[in-house]
Every structure is written in C-alpha cells, then in structure tokens.
Structure 1
Amino acid sequence: MDQNENRQLEGRELDKVFTDKASGKDAKRPQLEALLDFVRDGDTLYCHSMDRLARNLDDLRKIVLGLTKRGVHVCFVKENLTFTGEESPMANLLLSVMGAFAEFERELLHERQREGIALAKRAGKYRGRKPTMTAERAAELRRRAAAGESKSGIARDFGISRDTLYRYLAVVAPRKVTAKPARKRAGREL
C-alpha cells in the first residue's frame, strides 16, 4: 500500500524526517534505528500514528518508554497523544489501550486478507504471486550447484535467499512413472 509521508505530518516544522517504507510490524527497521540513535534529551518525536511506529503492543511500549526515559517527548498526531515520561496511570493506560487497538487492527486486516484470498481461490481468481524462477533458471541453478559453485554466490546471482535456493535444489525433476505388473503370491494377485 502506498503511503504519503508528506500528508502524515503536514503543517509541522521538523528538523529531520525518518521514513521507513517497511511495515510498522517490524521493529528492526533501518530508519527506526537511525531515529533512535539520533534523538536526544529535550527532543520531541512527532509520529503520524501509533501504528506507524509499531503494530505490536510490546514493541510500542518498549520504544515509547525507552524514548521517554531518555527525555524525548513522543507525540502521536492522529491520536492527539503526547508521552513525556511523567509516570501517570492514565498515560500508561492510554498507551496500552491505543497500542492494543493498533495490534488488533493489524490482526483484523490480515484476517480479512486471508478471507479474501480464500474467496478468490474458490472462485478460481487467485493465482498467488508469479514464480520468480523459470524452469530454465531453475535448471541453471541446479547445474551450477552440481558443478560445485558456492551456494551463497548462486543465491546472490539469482536474487534469492539461500533457503529458497535449497528449496529449488530439493525439488527433483519429475520422473517418468511406469506401472509395475502386479505380483502374484500363492495364486492371488496383489
């Protein structure tokens, strides 16, 4: 899904903008890590919404609490909430409830996606992602592996992970199956 980062913080004067194209579900994002390294005591972090920072309640709490302990104020524009590090039961409740809603919303999205895919499959309209590996490329991959080339090098050249490489290597070309005549045993056919 395309996102318009300019729209998300429109009207704010910002010193520096950190934007990850990856989903908020992953706490290991390059720009998030750069942001965490950059902010200092007295800074205010403006984030469009909680689900842009993290979609998992545990990650959200960890990030917000880690920032506020360092003296960074965390402001979520969409939710109109600011966390300053002042311990208050209401702030903890709001962070937990709103974070739980973000996580719940993400799970609902995936459930709807799975339901939509199941319906499309039943209707014969869903084909899934097109394979990235043609039969010719898979044969070339197997040939190079059989010649003793490094698996890491092959995976890199083909733009696939080593796990994917090993899955392709494990697939044996279909063999011709011939019917065997039934064995006779004590006068009976099996």
Structure 2
Amino acid sequence: MLVGYVRVSKADGSQTTDLQRDAMVAAGVDPERVYEDHASGAKDDRPQLAACLKGLREGDTLLVWKLDRLGRNLRHLVTIVDDLTARGVGLQVLTGQGAAIDTTTAAGKLVFGIFAALSEYERALISERTVAGLASARARGRKGGRPFKMTPAKVRLAAASMGQPDTNVAALCKELGITRQTLYRHVSPSGELRDDGKKILGRR
C-alpha cells in the first residue's frame, strides 16, 4: 500500500500542501492515505508524521515530495529510514535532490546507503572535534561538556505536571525549554522521578 506524507513550514495559511498532494495522487496514493503537517521541519512535535510512521505496515511504501519534508536533518532522516527498512517499509522520494531514492529498488538502496555513510562520517567528525575540544579545555583547566538543561525547579514542575492527566507534553517541553527525550529521561509519563531526575534533586 502507498502512503503519503506532506508538510509545509507555516501554519498561518500562507502555504498550502496542494502541490505535494497532487504529486502524491499522481503517483498512485489514495488521497485518504496522505498525512499532513503544518510545522517547521526543525520541530520535534509533528503529530501527523508520528501517526504516519506508526501506521505503516510491512510491505507499505512511504512517499514524500522531497527529502526535506521528512527529516529534520540527515541524521534524523537516516534514523527514520533505518527504522522503516527494519520493518519492511519502503521509502520513495518524488522530486528534488533525493528523487533517485526508492528503497524498494536495489539502485535506490545504494543511493540511500551513500547518504547513510555521509551521516556516519558527519557523526565521526563531530565526535572527534568534541573529544579534541574537551581535551584542550582540560589542558587549560576548564571543564568541558554542555550545561544541564534541567534544574531542580524544572524537575519539580515536570513531575507535578506529568502527574496531571490533562497535561500537554509538547506545551510543557516548550515551557521548560527542553525536548521530550530530556523530559522522559528525568520524569516518567505518570510523573515519577527517574534516576536522572533524582540526581538533580539530590535523591539517591
């Protein structure tokens, strides 16, 4: 089964998905099976993408108009496609620089393999630079690493909010200035403190 995903960056009505939807229909996608988001590609919270990925089944093929409609960046894109491949789901890109990608074909898999290799190379470079930067900082008597995003006050607010059934997780994360991953690393969905949250509050 063919499933489509379309996205525009603005939710104020100044951009439409008509062009992308027309391309999906022309490619054979049932209009009822096209998921649509109105959100920046850099945002974690894209509910229709999450629903689309969750609903895909083995043997399905996900169609996107361009690669930048799907992933936030190359690393995110590779992660999505790796997950789809493991589940037996294909990916087809209709236009743009990624139009050669169709993971249901051998040639398409080869093209995406090149993307994946570039992503791995990028990760290796970032890791190498980070290690070198930390070593240089330590040599000068400075401690490296990023500051904690969570504070005791944020942990307490997160725990209290997650304990309420009507809490909007996306809104809470925005208010605290953190990602969902950071939130759930410190607090469970029911509001219980996890190990990282206990450490910040000094509870062992």
Q: TM-score, normalised by structure 2?
A: 0.43
Q: Which has the larger radius of gyration?
A: 1
